[in-house]
Amino acid sequence: MPLEDAIFEKGLPSNADAERFVLGSILIDDAQFLQVAGILDPEDFSLEKHRKIFHRMMALNDRGERIDRVTLANELMKAGQLEAVDGVGYLVSLDDGLPQIANLDSYIRIVKSKALLRRIILTSQRTIDRCISGDEEPDSILASAGDEILKLGEARGSTGLSSPAEIIEGYEGGLNAFLDPSKRIQGVSTGFQKLDEKTGGIRPGELIILAARPAMGKTALALNLAYHVAAVVKKPTAIFSLEMSKESLLTRLLCAAARVDSQKFRAGFLNANERRQLQVAAAELTEAPLFIDDTASTNLMDIHAKLRRLKAEHGLGLVVVDYLQLMSSKGRVESRVQEVSALSRGLKLLSKELEVPVLALSQLSRAPETRQGDHRPQLSDLRESGSIEQDADIVCFIFREEVYKPDRTDLKGLAELIIAKQRNGPTGKVNLVFLHSLTKFENRLGDLDEDGPSGE
């Protein structure tokens, strides 16, 4: 069944008058075309003749020609479509009933809104048809449907430009809050004082990449951050682990919070004081808004769906993904580099849509080991990097020189967090301490002020 027939037979959302007024406004003043074309596509029109007319308007504009009734009719005639749009008479009627002071913005919004509703309905219908046919696995249908809905959401969010006045008006607290640093929306504290000073905390909509060679402590640092945001700042935090089980992650979190040797915990050699410390830490963790998912085959669409539900029910302060190279995307990809690039882009879009900082862990290539002298990582060392560096707002590397020089006792426990990229701030180095027995990073004593790190 043709789309136009389906629209009217099934009563799908449409507004032919709004579509007519949009096209009529362009014929009255073709300077309006760019405003319309920046938001609407030909497929946004419900009537086939309106889609043909808009296509011909686009062709005229591409050639730099004026758009009016005469040039449009000629263009349609050359394409053999003039009769298909009901002739010159219909072009003349496009502005019939159009108010003297046209409200083009409203007409465009109506057309776009109806088009989006139709796409949601048609996407849902395709999903129903696939379910009824029974030819595909439910997981495949879910992932594909989620991908289509996410793309619809991206299309909706990319249609408007905002003036400075609109941005300030929409800012929480208005102009005074926007100009007053003490009232501006602050980033979430990481628990590491020098890192907070350099970044201002991690902010909604940011993609933070934390990368390191194996055994440097990527997961440990990510868990430290997650624990601080959930248990200290009290913001809901989601951890997606594609490598470790939720029991192993909880064990690490408990031992680090209770300051109990994780090896002793696993072996069962705990004294009464250590057991008491673990009980206190467990009580704090059970009260914290912390959520862990250890599904090994998690993909971007699964994460998106789970986070939308979590945000609706509890809110959302931080998302941790451990780690990027273990994720997979649905569908065919030409190369692993392209797949990882698509995943990093997807995580960035997710962070913007859900307005939450996303901390994604990433592998590094073996290049640091092959370098002579200084083994500190560089941006070029990001494994299967593709667009990771480009998409990320912040890229941090963990470097512990003791891993390369185990005989140097003076290096034991010393760690560096290297901020190699920060879109809105300085790069540099943050010195930390790594406690091996607790698999935990901490501030160096000299970096703490009298009050310690702030909660938020």
**Amino acid letter, residue 105:** D
Q: Which of 48, 65, 197, 243 is labelled catalytic? A: 243
Reading phi first (left if > 0) and then psi (alpha if -120 to 50, else beta), residue 384 is in: left
Place of tokens 């993609």: 207
Task: Determine whether 9 is an active site residue.
Answer: no
Beta bridge partners of 358: 207, 319
Q: Cβ atoms within 10 A of the Cβ of 203, count? A: 19
Q: What is the distance between the alpha carbons of residues 198 and 219, in angstroms, rounded to a whole number?
A: 22
Cis peptide before 404 (omega within 30 of 0): no
Element (H, E) at 361: strand 358-363
The answer to whether residues 209 and 394 touch, using CB atoms and an 8 Å cutoff, is: yes
Sheet holding 318-322, edge to edge: 290-293, 237-241, 318-322, 358-363, 207-212, 394-399, 414-422, 428-435, 440-443
Q: Are strands 358-363 and 440-443 parallel, antiparallel or unpaired?
A: unpaired
Nearest to 12 by CA among 93, 114, 95: 114
Instruction: Kindly provide the b/e burial profile for residues 235-247, where b requires at least 16 CB atoms within 10 angstroms of the residue's own CB.
Output: bbbbbbbbebeee
**Amino acid letter, residue 438:** L
Residue 231 DSSP class: I
Question: Cα 130 to the chain's mean position, in Å?
Answer: 28
**Helical packing angle, 16-28 and 48-62, nearest 10°:** 20
Residue 82 DSSP class: T
Q: Give catalytic residues, as residue numbers.
A: 243
